[in-house]
Amino acid sequence: MATDFDVAAGDVRLRVTGLRKTLRALEAAGADAEDLKGLMHRIGMTVVADAKGRVPVKTGRLRDSIRAGRGKTKSVVYAGGRRALYAPYVHYGIDQPKVPYLADAIAAKRATILQQLDDGIAALLVKNDLK
């Protein structure tokens, strides 16, 4: 099992080594799984908000399809779906110039994401009397 937090979109990658182990230790010490999911969702929403401002808009379907998932040990951002099947074509530039809205959002918000992660873990440690 990997011990890294790894977010990638195209050529942009954000990796935090040891995060999974830290989150598992928090969970074992009594941290609520919903608190962990909430932290990861908030981080995802940071990327979602930025990506929605970067995506080209014709009908708004692609922009409206960008959303954050919920996971205990990872932050996931989705784009596309049944109403916007063309999401990867826009992002990766298949038969058109690429508009890497997710990769650019991750790159632009890298410092914010790391700060949210640091602050969130610190808050969980305090909440669970581990710090």
Tell me the mean pLDDT per 10 residues along the chain, length 131. 54 69 74 82 96 96 95 86 94 93 94 92 82 69
- Match 């890497």 to its residue by tokens: 100
Element of type H or E holding 61: helix 61-65
**Amino acid 128: pLDDT:** 76
Contacts of 3 (CB under 8 A, 6+ apart): 17, 18, 19, 20, 21
**Amino acid 2: pLDDT:** 44
**Amino acid 27: pLDDT:** 73
Domain layout of the chain by residue ranges: 4-127
Cα–Cα nearest to 103, from 115, 93, 91, 114: 91
**Amino acid 5: pLDDT:** 60
**Amino acid 47: pLDDT:** 96
